[in-house]
Chains A and B, each alone.
Chain A
């Protein structure tokens, strides 16, 4: 089976190469049949990868431990569903999953648009194929998930990390991947438009929906990640600014910027260079995020060596992306000239422009701060790190500015807002925004930052509600119906606009939740049985510790009673689970008492069975659930905006929108079941100090082969597997083996030179390591030469179809300005 899997990967690589070459050639020769064959090949890649996926899932389900990847991430006792999700549990599989998604998405995108954007399609196919080729190449030569044990296959797997065995982790990564991969499609269309010179707004229309869908999944993935961190990890928070989180946030920020600036181009024909740039940058950041988190670059410079090969491959690919994309942007600058100038700074396009700058700055800042330890070590040799407080210091004002713009932007008129217009739109919102902090300060809430944040939330909330109310009032007068019907009809008529408002409302709710952090209470204590302690307005009493066992694990549960205002309101049962065979990795079980106003969040990190005392961490997280509710509203708004044109009027006449919102809120609130929290690092780590110089040398020459530690040196890795390897090395040295013999032993044991930190650098080896690269480069060269040669001889009697040059269109600017204004009233 494993060889079938490897074969599908190889075949997919070859077919992708063909698709790319045939598509480009077909486009340049104007040969329809060649393009059709390229598209066919493109679909075939998706089919091949589906087969490959089926093979690896089959291997997981049937416990085929001869495949290394399966052995590392699964075991026989694992529940069925987690055997499936182990597919993306590790590096190799996640890359494969990525390509698989890309192939499926690409095929759908090509299929949907094949008639509408004929002139772009061949290049879209070629670009997506090239991206696929990169990832397939990566797998085939370096990270093949179908690699097998050559000699004796183990009979039992190591099991997926227990931390990942929960529902959030099952859907969080795929959701994030869908978002990441989806961003490839707009990039492909954008670059295709640049290559062909068809830079009218057609390509934008083709990708707007894709971007929105990807953006929605990205938001979903990020939110799930927050919920997972909050409920499973048990440190009381949900966002720690760690590099992996940031990697997901970066494309989200630029994607958000694009979704806004795309409107400016659609309506006013401005910001065309900017839009193409944003599409490129967003795609680049998805790749960069992958690079950052997979290769170990972020942690420190020496961690770069964790997977140096992967890092270099990615660096090369990113350089190619940047060079090609920006090269074409510069080349096409004459075609990208803006149709208008900015008329006034008090206009919607100006607000969007500022919003874009702020979002881009936020992305750059996060990128800079995430890479800071690496940058500082490279520049000064000192490794400096910046923590969450630094991020918060900067991101707080940035977030507030964005929140403000969320309220201002949509209400400004295109081109120029008049003073009357401004007064009409912002009078009430401003009054409410000023009164809120005043009222709050009476209640003892400081102005900076929570008061200001609440004020801005109120400001945006009022503007959004005002839009709905005013729109509904106008419509009610026109149609003579009641308010609710008018409002539903209003939303149904311009879904994009009102969907957008609902998204903004979701953002406001999320900000409300974030602001709650300002009032967070976090206390740690030791309680003896019967003893109680006050945290905020809660009193917590320890009723003792119970130990139970369900055969699979031992569960230690703290029994606590929660009082408020002297009355008993609830019991809480934070726990600690010790799984069989994993006794050294206790799993914390967080007890969360949710309410609209605040969460009471209790973790029991320590306990004494003799005297029944418990160590507790008690966190009060005000307003935190509004983040999840806010996301629900955001998702609802996005989906509304995404619906096809006619579908909604019909559907909403049956189900009123508030019912849908209420349902969603309910679902979200019910989602928070108890989940286990676990730590994974092996505390059994007892580094064995090398006894001889030879041993020390070997520690540095071999890497930990457990499969999860990246390519850490045996001497530095802290996992249990490395400890075993060190012991083994010790024995081998004791037996009197030389360095060469030990290395040979490991090469034989793992069937390749993989365990070596550096390849044996002599003779044939150098060639062998170079070989795949030579083949890869050679293949590309052949494909390129073939494409150029074929395209030089266009078929006779079949002149290339004359394409309308977009730059030639010169419309009367006066007329266009008038059209814009009239369109504004429509939308």
Chain B
């Protein structure tokens, strides 16, 4: 009996350690920090190169689009109408219907010295914390 208990115990420990280790390793690369513009801009150097989900508002009249392409340049700020902390962003791709001046956005991507580089499909023009209040609670999808 003791023998069996030891066996089971050891198996559980080994499995738990292995899974825990794997989880830790994958979490490190899989996670993204959810940050507001002002939080990041307090010390931009500390955030460079990290996976970020940047929350902010599009600065009015800052959206520029290269003719006949999907290259966008725009500025994001921490507060509507408050231009104190502003970061410029680059994005190539299709933007959501609701992406416009003053829109509340969450950008996925990385902060680089020349601005925020948004990863493909990384513009979310609605706050993720609001998605389910807007539809049937059991509805999947984004």
Q: Which residues of A line the B interface, CB within 8 A?
A: 88-91, 94, 161, 163-164, 169, 172-173, 176-177, 221-222, 225-226, 228-229, 232-233, 235, 239-240, 242-245, 247-248, 290, 293-294, 296, 299-300, 303, 306, 361, 372-373, 376, 382-387, 389-390, 393-394, 524-526, 528, 585-586, 588, 605-606, 613, 615, 617, 679-683, 685-687, 689, 708-710, 712, 718
Contact of B103 among A233, A586, A685 (CB under 8 A): A685
A385 with B34, Cβ < 8 A, contacts A228-B139, A242-B141, A244-B138 known: yes
Let me know if B126 and A245 touch, CB within 8 A. no
Which residue of A is nearest B82, CB measured? Answer: A689
**Does chain A have a CB within 8 A of B14?**
no
Instruction: Provide the residues of chain B in CB contact with A176, threshold 8 Å.
Output: 138
What separation, in Å, do the CA atoms of A300 and B53 have in the docked complex? 14
- B97/A94 in contact, CB under 8 A: no
Q: Measured between C-beta atoms, what is the minimum distance from A455 to chain B in Å?
A: 24
Q: Is B113 an interface residue (CB 8 A)?
A: no
Q: How far is the CB of A688 from chain B (nearest CB, A)?
A: 9
Q: State A225–B140 Cα separation when bound (angstroms).
A: 6
Q: Is the CB of B27 within 8 A of A390?
A: yes
Q: B70 at interface (Cβ–Cβ under 8 A)?
A: yes
Of B95, B108, B138, the residue contacting A293 (CB under 8 A) is B138
Q: Is A524 a contact of B139 with CB atoms below 8 Å?
A: no
Tell me, rounded to whole Å, the shortest Cβ–Cβ distance linking B28 to chain A.
10
Q: How far is the CA of A233 from the CA of B69 in the complex (A)?
A: 24
Number of interface residues of B (CB under 8 A): 48
CB of A177 within 8 A of CB of B138, answer yes
Interface centre among A173, A177, A526 (most CB of B within 10 A): A526
For B93, the chain A residues whose CB sits under 8 A away are 524
Contact of B132 among A243, A585, A588 (CB under 8 A): A243
> B31 to A384, Cβ gap below 8 A?
yes
**Which residues of B (66-109) have their CB < 8 Å from a CB of A?**
68-70, 79-82, 93-100, 102-104, 108
Q: Residue B140 contacts which of A248, A525, A709 (CB distance < 8 angstroms)?
A: A248
Q: List A contacts of B81 (CB < 8 A).
A: 689
Interface status of B5 (Cβ within 8 A of chain A): no
CA distance A687 to B79 in the complex (A): 9
With A685-B103, A709-B130 as known contacts, state yes or no: A385 contacts B53, CB within 8 Å.
yes
Q: Which of A94, A163, A242, A679 contacts B96 (CB 8 A)?
A: A679
Type the 1/0 row for B28-55, where 1 means its CB is closer than 8 Å to any CB of A. Answer: 0011111100000000000000000100
Nearest-neighbour CB distance to chain B for A390, whole angstroms, equals 3
Given A173-B139, A386-B32; A242-B80 close (CB under 8 Å): no
Give min CB distance, B135 to chain A, whole Å: 6
> Does B111 sit within 8 A of A, measured CB to CB?
no
Given the interface contacts A243-B132, A244-B137, A689-B79, does A387 sit within 8 Å of B30 by beta carbon? yes
Asked if A605 and B94 sit within 8 Å, CB to CB, the answer is: yes
Nearest CB of B to A456, in Å: 21
Contact A685 B139 (CB under 8 A): no
Whether B3 sits at the interface, judged by CB under 8 Å, is no
Q: Contact at A91–B137, with CB atoms within 8 Å?
A: yes
Closest residue to A341 on the B side, CB-wise?
B4
- Please report which residues of chain B, range 106-135, place their CB below 8 angstroms from some CB of chain A when the two chains form the complex: 108, 125-135
Contact A681 B126 (CB under 8 A): yes
Q: Do A94 and B34 have beta carbons less than 8 Å apart?
A: no
Whole-angstrom distance from the CB of B51 to the nearest CB of chain A? 9
Q: From the candidates A173, A229, A300, A689, name the one contacting B138 in the complex (CB within 8 A).
A: A173
**8 contacting pairs across A/B (C-beta < 8 A):** A91-B137, A94-B137, A225-B141, A226-B140, A244-B139, A390-B30, A525-B70, A526-B68
Q: In the docked arrangement, what's the CA distance between A606 and B136, Å?
A: 27
Which of A173, A221, A361, A385 has the most C-beta atoms of chain B within 10 angstroms of its own C-beta? A385
Residue of B nearest to A394 (CB): B26
Most chain B CB within a 10 A radius of its CB, from A386, A681, A709: A681
A531 to chain B: closest residue by CB: B68
Closest to A391 in B: B30
Known: A526-B68, A613-B68. A686 touches B80 (CB 8 A): yes
By the criterion CB–CB under 8 Å, are B26 and A393 in contact? Answer: yes
* B6, CB-defined interface residue at 8 Å: no
Residues from chain A with a CB closer than 8 A to the CB of B69 are 526
Say whether A708 contacts B134, CB under 8 Å.
yes
Give me the 4 closest cross-chain CB pairs, A-B, nearest first: A390-B30, A229-B141, A245-B140, A299-B129
* A94, B138: Cβ atoms closer than 8 Å: yes
CA distance A686 to B82 in the complex (A): 13
Q: Known contacts A163-B135, A169-B139, A686-B102; can you find 11 more A-B pairs with CB under 8 A?
A: A164-B139, A169-B136, A248-B138, A384-B33, A385-B31, A386-B30, A386-B31, A390-B27, A685-B102, A686-B80, A718-B127
Residues of chain A lying within 8 A (CB to CB) of residue B100? 683
Note all chain B residues with C-beta closer than 8 A to A239: 140
Q: What chain A residues lie within 8 Å of B104 (beta carbons)?
A: 685, 687, 718
Whether the pair A524, B70 counts as a contact (CB closer than 8 A) is yes
B130: which A residues are within 8 A, CB to CB? Answer: 681, 709, 712, 718
Given contacts A229-B141, A248-B138, contact A710 B133 (CB under 8 A): yes
Task: Find the residue from A169, A240, A384 having the highest chain B CB count within 10 A.
Answer: A384
Question: A250 → chain B, closest Cβ, in Å?
Answer: 13
Alpha-carbon gap, A298 to B75, bound state (A): 29
How many residue pairs link A and B with beta carbons under 8 A? The number is: 168
Indicate the member of B35, B93, B99, B108 with the most A CB atoms within 10 Å. Answer: B93
Whether a CB of chain A sits under 8 angstroms from the CB of B142 is: yes
Q: Which A residues touch B79, using CB under 8 A? A: 689
B68 close to A382 (CB less than 8 A): no
User: Which residues in B have their C-beta under 8 angstroms from that of A229?
Assistant: 140-142
Residues of chain B within 8 A (CB-CB) of A221 are 138
Select from chain A the residue with minimum beta-carbon distance to B98: A683
Q: B142 to A242, Cβ gap below 8 A?
A: yes
A709 contacts B138, CB within 8 Å? Answer: no
**Other-chain residue from B68, B98, B129, B133 in contact with A708 (beta carbon distance below 8 A):** B133
The interface residues of chain B lying within 8 Å CB-to-CB of A161 are 134-135
Q: How far is the CA of A528 from the CA of B68 in the complex (A)?
A: 8
Which residues of A have CB within 8 Å of B136? 88-90, 94, 164, 169, 173
Q: Which A residue's beta carbon lies closest to that of B131?
A: A242
- Given A233-B142, A390-B27, A393-B26, residue A606 in contact with residue B94 (CB < 8 A): yes
| A293 in contact with B132 (CB, 8 Å) | yes
Q: Report whether B97 and A588 are in contact in the complex, using a CB–CB cutoff of 8 Å.
A: yes
Report the minimal beta-carbon distance from B120 to chain A, rounded to whole angstroms: 8
Within the assembled complex, what's the spacing in Å between the Cα atoms of A126 and B95? 54
Contacting residue for A393 out of B30, B98, B103, B128, CB 8 A: B30
Complex: chain A residue closest to B19, CB-CB: A361
Chain B residues with Cβ below 8 Å from A686 are 80, 102
User: Which residue, B31, B69, B133, has most C-beta atoms of chain A within 10 A?
Assistant: B133
CB distance from A763 to the nearest CB of B (A): 33
Say yes or no: A689-B68 contact (C-beta < 8 A), given A172-B139, A386-B30, A709-B130: no
Q: How far is the CA of A240 from the CA of B30 in the complex (A)?
A: 15
Q: A251 → chain B, closest Cβ, in Å? A: 12
CB-CB under 8 A from B103, the residues of chain A are 683, 685
**B94 in contact with A683 (CB, 8 Å):** no
Q: Which of A88, A172, A242, A617 contacts B94 (CB 8 A)?
A: A617
| A373 cross-chain contacts in B, Cβ below 8 A | 34
Cα–Cα distance between A694 and B76 once the two chains are bound (Å):
28
Which of chain B's residues have a CB closer than 8 A to the CB of A244? 132, 137-141
Q: How far is the CA of A226 from the CA of B82 in the complex (A)?
A: 41
Q: Which residues of B contact A382 (CB under 8 A)?
A: 33
Residue of B70, B96, B98 contacting most chain A CB atoms (<10 Å): B98
In the bound complex, what is the Cα–Cα distance between A528 and B138 (angstroms)?
Answer: 40
Query: What separation, in Å, do the CA atoms of A176 and B104 have in the docked complex?
Result: 32
A-chain residues with CB within 8 Å of residue B27 when the two chains form the complex: 386, 390
Given the complex, which residues of A lie within 8 Å of B96, measured CB to CB?
Answer: 605, 679
Chain B residues within 8 Å of A680, by CB: 134-135
Task: Write out the residue numbers on chain A whose beta carbons fall within 8 Å of the beta carbon of B140.
Answer: 222, 225-226, 228-229, 239-240, 242, 244-245, 248
The CA-CA distance from A91 to B133 in the complex, in Å, is 9
Shortest CB distance B54–A (Å): 12
